[in-house]
C-alpha cells in the first residue's frame, strides 16, 4: 500500500510538471503568434526623405481599376532609374506593397509596387499585359516622377518571378503587349531579378497538372489541354540575345516551384548569350524558408536582398 501511494504521488508530480511545461509552451506559441500578427499589422513607415503615393490607377481594364504605389526620393535634381516590384501569390492572390517601393526609394531609386489582374478576374495574358502597361505608364509619367525612362528594372517572387521573367524576355510581342494605353511607349525593361518563378508549367509535374492548379487557373483551363497557351506563357519561348541581364535566385529544396524551373530558364539565357546568373540557395524551400525546419540557408535572406540590390545598381547605372 505504501509503495502504491508513493507511485501515485510521483505520477501526480510528473503530471503536474508536464502540465506546467505544456502551459508555458502554449503561452510562448500564443505570444509568438501575437508578435507575428503585430509585425504584419505594423503601419508603413515612410522616411522623411521619401514621398509615397499609393493606389494610383495606371490602367482601367474594363470596369476593373489596376493600381500601383510609387515612392520617390526627395530633392532629386535629375532623373533616376526605377525598380518595380511584382508580387507573387500563385497568380490568384497577393497584392502590391508600398514597403517594397520605399525600400528602393531609400536606396536612391524610384520605387514602385504594382497590382495586376489575378486569375480569378481574368486569365492569361491579362496579368502580363497589365505589367507591361505599368512599365509604359511609368515612361509616360517619367517627367512627373523623375524617372530615367531608359533604366527600369523589375523583380518578383514566385508568380511574380514568372511575370518579371516573361516581361524581360518578351519585349515587342504584340500578343503579350495588349492594349492598356500609352502604346507610344516601350514596355522593355533593362534589368530583371527573378526569385523562384515557374517557367515551363508542363514540366512542373504533380498537382501542377491538375485542372484546379494555380497554373491551370492562370491559363483558364487544364494546362495539359492548352499546350499553345503554356508555350506562350513560358518566358523561355521568347529568349533572345537582346534580353536584359537577369539574376535568378531559387531554393534548392523548393517543392512548390521546383529548382529545375530556374535551371531551364538559365540554360536558355546562357545559350542566347544573355547576361545571366543563377544562385541556388542551399537548405531553402519556397520563399527561402529553411528546409528542413531549423536548417541554415545559404546564402541567407539579407545576403539575397543585397544581391538583388547590387544587380540593379550594376545594370541600371
> Are 20 and 88 within one domain?
no
* Predicted pLDDT of residue 268: 98
Distance of alpha carbon 306 from alpha carbon 199, whole angstroms: 24
- Condensed to tens digits (0 to 9), the pLDDT of residues 287-302 reads 999 999 999 999 999 9
- Residue 147: give its domain's CATH number: 3.40.50.1820
- Condensed to tens digits (0 to 9), the pLDDT of residues 21-41 reads 444 444 334 433 433 333 355
What radius of gyration, in Å, describes the C-alpha atoms of the chain?
A: 23
Number of domains in the chain: 2
* Predicted pLDDT of residue 205: 92
Quote the Cα angle for 138-143-145, to 5°.
Answer: 65
Quote the Cα angle for 227-216-84, to 5°.
Answer: 100
> Are 267 and 303 within one domain?
yes
Regions of the chain short of the pLDDT cut 70: 1-41
> Are 211 and 252 within one domain?
yes
The alpha helices in 42-187, defined as continuous H runs, are: 98-106, 126-140, 142-145, 159-169, 174-177
> Are 184 and 118 within one domain?
yes
Which positions ≥6 away from 309 have C-beta within 8 Å?
Answer: 107
The alpha helices in 226-300, defined as continuous H runs, are: 227-232, 260-272
Q: For residue 198, which of 207, 211, 190 has the smallest C-alpha distance?
A: 207
* Predicted pLDDT of residue 317: 84
Q: Which domain holds residue 9?
A: 1-42
0.85 surpassed by pTM: yes
Cell of 196: 523562384
> Are 260 and 195 within one domain?
yes
Whose cell is 523548393? That residue is 254
Q: For residue 168, which of 265, 99, 87 has the smallest C-alpha distance?
A: 265
Amino acid at each position: 500500500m505504501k509503495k502504491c501511494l508513493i507511485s501515485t504521488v510521483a505520477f501526480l508530480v510528473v503530471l503536474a510538471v508536464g502540465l506546467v511545461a505544456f502551459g508555458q509552451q502554449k503561452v510562448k506559441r500564443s505570444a509568438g503568434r501575437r508578435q507575428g500578427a503585430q509585425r504584419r499589422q505594423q503601419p508603413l513607415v515612410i522616411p522623411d526623405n521619401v514621398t509615397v503615393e499609393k493606389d494610383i490607377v495606371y490602367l482601367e481594364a474594363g470596369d476593373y481599376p489596376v493600381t500601383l504605389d510609387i515612392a520617390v526620393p526627395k530633392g532629386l535634381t535629375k532623373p533616376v532609374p526605377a525598380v518595380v516590384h511584382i508580387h507573387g501569390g500563385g497568380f490568384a492572390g497577393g497584392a502590391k506593397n508600398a514597403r517594397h517601393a520605399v525600400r528602393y526609394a531609400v536606396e536612391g531609386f524610384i520605387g514602385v509596387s504594382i497590382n495586376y489582374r489575378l486569375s480569378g478576374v481574368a486569365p492569361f495574358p491579362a496579368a502580363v499585359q497589365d505589367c507591361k502597361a505599368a512599365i509604359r505608364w511609368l515612361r509616360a509619367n517619367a517627367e512627373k516622377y523623375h524617372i530615367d525612362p531608359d533604366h527600369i528594372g523589375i523583380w518578383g517572387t514566385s508568380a511574380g518571378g514568372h511575370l518579371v521573367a516573361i516581361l524581360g524576355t518578351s519585349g515587342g510581342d504584340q500578343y503579350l503587349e495588349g492594349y492598356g494605353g500609352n502604346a507610344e511607349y516601350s514596355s522593355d525593361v533593362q534589368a530583371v531579378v527573378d526569385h523562384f518563378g515557374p517557367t515551363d508549367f508542363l514540366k512542373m509535374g504533380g498537382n501542377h497538372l491538375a485542372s484546379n492548379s494555380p497554373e491551370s487557373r492562370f491559363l483558364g483551363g487544364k494546362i495539359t489541354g492548352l499546350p499553345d497557351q503554356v508555350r506562350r506563357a513560358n518566358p523561355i519561348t521568347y529568349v533572345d540575345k537582346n534580353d536584359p541581364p537577369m539574376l535568378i535566385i531559387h531554393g534548392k529544396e523548393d517543392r512548390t516551384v521546383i529548382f529545375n524551373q530556374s535551371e531551364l530558364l538559365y540554360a536558355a539565357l546562357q545559350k542566347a548569350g544573355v547576361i545571366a546568373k543563377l544562385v541556388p540557395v542551399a537548405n531553402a524551400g519556397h520563399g527561402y524558408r529553411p528546409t528542413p525546419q531549423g536548417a541554415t540557408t545559404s546564402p541567407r535572406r539579407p545576403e539575397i536582398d543585397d544581391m538583388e540590390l547590387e544587380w540593379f545598381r550594376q545594370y541600371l547605372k
